[in-house]
Structure 1
Amino acid sequence: MDGETAAFPDLMDFEFFVIILQNPWEKLRLPDKFAKLLDGQEPREVTLLEASGGRSLWDVEVLFDGEGHMYLDHGWERFARAHDLGLWNFLVFTYDEDAVLNVTVFDGSMCRRHYHDDDEESIGTSSESGSNNSMDSSGNDISGGAAEMNIDDALTSQFTVTLKPSHLGARQKQYLNVPPAFQHAHGYDGRSEVVLRMRGEKWTVTLKHNIRKGGHRTRASLRYGWHQFCVDNRLGVGDVCFFRALRGDGVGEDHALKVEVRKRDGSFID
């Protein structure tokens, strides 16, 4: 790495964290405060080092989008695949000299994940073979760690939807499909409604079922009540909704979903 890319200001031992809230292989946005501290000395590349003692170094290109946002870009996907990163992983970055960022990974169990060089190489080889199963397998150990979580398996305890026009169309036509794995895990075939919880409030939403010949129910969708939820929370196309299963509150609610929303500009609805 040349001297220009290593020209960081005095940030020795500067720390920050990032929670993975979308595809872990896409470019990763770093905190704006960190980007501002680099003003005038933005690096073209940094080196990532997994902090548990591995010797492998990962050169990653840095992208600045002109609006003050900084991203780990080309090379990040290779690092993410090699370390089997998944949704809700918690990454702690510590700046070291010579444009090196030490990375500590915490998974859904809220415990630190440790790697060895052999593990990194074998994971990286299998992930780069073209399989998309890495995303699914990495999700199996995401529990969220919160007491409200009812099921530890991420495929059946949570799901994420990026809102499209079909989710926000005319009032009588708005709907949001529930992923089949989540639907079956929570017995949606036998449910008529769910409760959405957000910002200390709740919305009761009807489940609409598509019926096959013979009376068999297929895909379940959030339907009546979904429109009001979107209106009350000012949701728009491109917003990302994170749904997580909650235990019933003991007041007759069989099933509730906690919802968090990330707006298109990257901010979260409080």
Structure 2
Amino acid sequence: MEEETAAFADLSDFEFFVAIHQNSWDKLRLPHKFGELLDGREPRELNLREAGGGRRQWDVEVVFDGEGHMYLGRGWDQFAREHDVQLGHFLVFSYDGDAVLTVKVFDGTMCRRHYKHDDDDDSSATPNSIDSGSKNSIYTGSKNSADSGINSRSSEEMDIDDAPTSQFTVMLRQCHLGARQKQYLNVPVEFQNAHEYHKRSGVVLRMRGKSWPVNLKRSLRAGGNPRMSLRYGWHQFCVDNRLDVGDTCFFRALRGGDADRGEDHVLKVEVRRRDGTFAD
């Protein structure tokens, strides 16, 4: 495996998304860009690891068809079965080094799945999961962060990457892009609670090296529970980045932002267009 592992030396920050929209149990096609970057140094196998799942890894065969498409083959079916991967699920892959792909599974509600593991032998994951986050939409795609900075893990990003409160995803609808004074984007309850949004008046959205201050508006949901929304300033962010219905925004909390000390809470934003390309 030494020679195969070396093939990934320059891909330590590579991340991509795959949607399960057809029968993908025997093999799973990976983004063409990922295969291209291997540049003739294709491995015979990879190790899959579920994010937050301990030391357990699944050895998975890598196969290429006659057209150069890259697939996860033998061994993928076992990982998919043990994690109850189904149609409509979304998988987020990141390369961690030593030919290991870490996988996060999002189900049909667009919430991250967190699995229960056997603490004694750390060898299995039950298909029962706890869905966390909000019912927002996630889409699929691939992007090399070494080229663009998208999906790169900067030193100021939170250390709780596996926690459901570190990030959330929204597929934009008309309500997010309506008349200027009516545009809003609701923040998931778990996320706003974890970052004490009840103490804040605004956040800062950061994308492509630029920043946009956005006010938070507090309202009441059914049952009297509070809801925080991105309001004033959100319109300008949408205009400046040419956002449209069907685009998907990935929000990620950055380190810092102590509410008690009046520090800004900064959210790193990545946008995938509805045509599959990333905003640059």
Query: Normalising by structure 1, what TM-score?
Result: 0.58
Aligned to 2:203: 194
Identity %: 50
Q: Letter of the aligned partner of 1:245 in structure 2? A: A
Q: Is the CA contact 1:196–1:204 (under 8 Å) kept in the aligned structure 2?
A: yes
Match of 1:162 among 151, 168, 171: 171
Matches within 5 A, 1:74-89: 79-80=79-80, 82=82, 89=93
Structure 1 segments unaligned to the other structure (5+ residues): 1-11, 38-46, 95-102, 109-117, 137-143
Distance 1:77 1:178, change over 3 A: farther
Deviations 1:122-151 (A, max 9, x none): 32xx22xxx343888xxxxxxx86421245
2:253 paired with 1:257: no
2:181 paired with 1:172: yes
Distance 1:49 1:198, change over 3 A: closer
Match of 1:105 among 91, 101, 104: 101
SS where residue 184 of structure 1 aligns?
A: helix
Q: Is the CA contact 1:49–1:55 (under 8 Å) kept in the aligned structure 2?
A: no
Deviations 1:72-92 (A, max 9, x none): 69x967534647999754248
TM-superposed CA distance for 1:34, in Å, is 3.6
Deviations 1:214-245 (A, max 9, x none): 9x661111111111101110112222211111
Aligned residues between the structures: 217
Distance 1:49 1:158, change over 3 A: closer
Matches within 5 A, 1:1-270: 19-21=15-17, 29-32=30-33, 34=35, 50=47, 79-80=79-80, 82=82, 89-91=93-95, 104-106=100-102, 122-123=124-125, 126-127=126-127, 131-133=128-130, 146-150=154-158, 152=160, 153-211=162-220, 218-246=226-254, 247-248=256-257, 253-270=263-280
Q: Is the CA contact 1:63–1:72 (under 8 Å) kept in the aligned structure 2?
A: no
Structure 2 segments unaligned to the other structure (5+ residues): 39-43, 50-55, 105-120, 134-151
Whole-angstrom distance in 1 between the partners of 2:272 and 2:65: 21
Max radius of gyration: which structure? Answer: 1
**Root mean square deviation, CA, Å:** 4.9
Q: Letter of the aligned partner of 2:101 in structure 1? A: V
Whole-angstrom distance in 2 between the partners of 1:151 and 1:239: 27
Q: Letter of the aligned partner of 1:50 in structure 2? A: N
